[in-house]
Every structure is written in C-alpha cells, then in structure tokens.
Amino acid sequence: MATFQKRKKAWRVQVRRKGKSVSATFDTKAEAEAWAITTESKIIEGGEPEAVINDPGLSEGATAADAFDRYADEISPGKGGARWEKVRLKMLKRRYPIFQRPIRSITGPDIADWRDKRLAQVSPSTVNRELGLVSAVFTHAMREWRLGVTVNPCTLVTRPRNPRPRTQRVSVSERKQIIAQLGWDGTSEPKTAAQWVAFSFYLALETAMRKGEILSLRWGDVNFEERQAHLNKTKNGHERDVPLSKAAMTLLRIVKEPDLASPVVPVKSGNLDKLFRAAKIDAGLSHIRFHDSRREAATTMAPKLSNVLELAAITGHRSLSMLQIYYKPKASDLATRLDA
C-alpha cells in the first residue's frame, strides 16, 4: 500500500508491503506514483525494493524540531492520540531551545535538563507522557530516517515517578448534579450542545467508553439487534465491540430516527471539555473529571461478570495492571460479597 504526502514543494511516498517499508521523495506526484507502482511490484514478486537514502525530507543536519514536524505529519495521524501528539510536539519545539538543535547532537544530559525544567511547570505524569512522545520521535529517526542518530537520549535518563492513580468514582447524586447544570433531564432527546455533553457522560457511565471513542461513534456503528457498538479505532489502535446494557440501550433510544452516517454525539472534543468543566465547577464538583466515568463504569460492571477477561473485553484494556487503575471497588462491597 502506498501513501502520499505533500511536503512543501515535494511529494513524499511511502510503500508498505509484506512487512517491508520503503520511502522516497520526488518533485511531482506523478513521479511518486510511478515509483510506488514499480516498488510495490518488486515487493510482490519477492524482490528487494530500492531504498532511497537521499530523502530530501530531512538531512543529517536536521533539528529535533524538524523531526517533530515530520513525525506529526507522517506517524501521528495513524494513532488514536494524533491530535494530542501534534499539539504537544508543536508546543515543545516552540518553547524549548534544546529542540532547535541538530537532533544528532542532543544527549542524555540535555534531555535530563529539559525534564527538570518541565517538572517545575507540570506534573510528573505529564512529563512522562511528553518524554515518551519525544522518545518515540528519536527512536523513529534512528531506525527509519538516517539522520545520524545512533542512540535515543531519552533512554539514558530516569523517568519521574508518577503520582498514585486516581481513585475518584462518580456517585448517582454527583452525576445528577452535573447533568442538571448542563440542562438535561436524563430522559429527553438532547437538543443543545450542553445537553449532548450530559448525554455523552451518561453513555460513558453505562459503557466504560472513553470520551474520544464516544465522539468517534456513528449511529451506523450501533447495532440495536445485537446490542453492541462497534469502535473502528480506539486509543490502543484495536477495534472493539462494546456490549450495550439495557440502560445503555434505553439511553441510545432516546434519540429518534438518527441518521446512520451522523455522529452519536454531535459535539467537538474541545467544546465538550469546556462545557463539562464549567458544569462541574458550577455544581461544586471540580474534583470530578469526565474520564472518571470510565472508572465508575468498570467498577460497577465487574461484580456482574464472571472474570476479569470479560471486563477487559468491555473496557478494551490490554493489560491487567492498567485495568486495575480503573477497577476500584469499595472494601465494604467486597466484604458483603464474601458473606454471600
């Protein structure tokens, strides 16, 4: 499969076939297409594709900022967190002079200095996420872009210790206060953006779906007969079928005659964040986050299932350690189950 990208006055083409990946850059798209056809044919026939080493997209004197731009253009779009990555990379290259230097000149101590400056501004968990992103850029540059990078300096520094995972749950009273601030009664078809935000919060509480998953869902992805919603793309890159409880089905059926091609929740991510933040503050619940709905849903679902694998199939977690962050039962509830 060939992908084409316009880069200033040139066209970059990348071909992926049978586990092989090769790229080249040309002055015109026609040249790029012709090269792609020839290269795909060679790979299909079992031959070795011709690697174009002198890719003018980046030279050995490229800065880390140049690599950030290329990563944002070529690699980030294939990820679930593409928007977050692009915003972060843009911010990092603009604020920190270290990333304006040639990427091959940046060392472990340089990254450690940047880490310490960043820790004075944001939480350790934020620094760890950003460090992971910068590390991904260095690794890709080292393996694929031939920029003279022989070691990833991010692997030479100690990562900050993350704070304890959140344990916040969402009570019935709290969710009612929030949707009241958003102007929704919980039973009528949403009309305003604020009401759709309330609807999405309730849907998250009933399905354990992430905010981004809910916003990406189309009505055509909802199968009422099979009682499931199909997620084509999730945070970890895997498809997932989310089972719909009776409560979730009742919630979705509030919307009358939906257009199958339309989003289930017709609100942009930034607007959802803004409206939810204002509502929770006005309700005196500033400690609540939209994502806490995922923990509440997972914890509520767990006692109804026979094993942890079933819970993971619903939430989409790929590891038990991550699932434990979201499953937060009360000790008193566990004690009651022991007596059953």
Residue numbers annotated as active site:
210, 235, 317, 326
DSSP string, 300-338: HHGGGSSSHHHHHHHH--SSHHHHHHH----HHHHHHHH
Alpha-carbon torsion, ordered 252, 254, 260, 264, to 10 deg: -60
Query: Measuring CA to CA, how many Å separate 95 from each of 88, 98, 196?
Result: 11, 9, 36
Identify which of 184, 190, 193, 251 has the alpha carbon closest to the alpha carbon of residue 222: 251
Q: Which two tokens stand for residue 211?
A: 């905010």
| Cα 164 from Cα 168, distance rounded (Å) | 12
Other Cβ atoms less than 10 A from the Cβ of 128: the count is 15
Which helix (H) or strand (E) element contains residue 293? helix 292-301
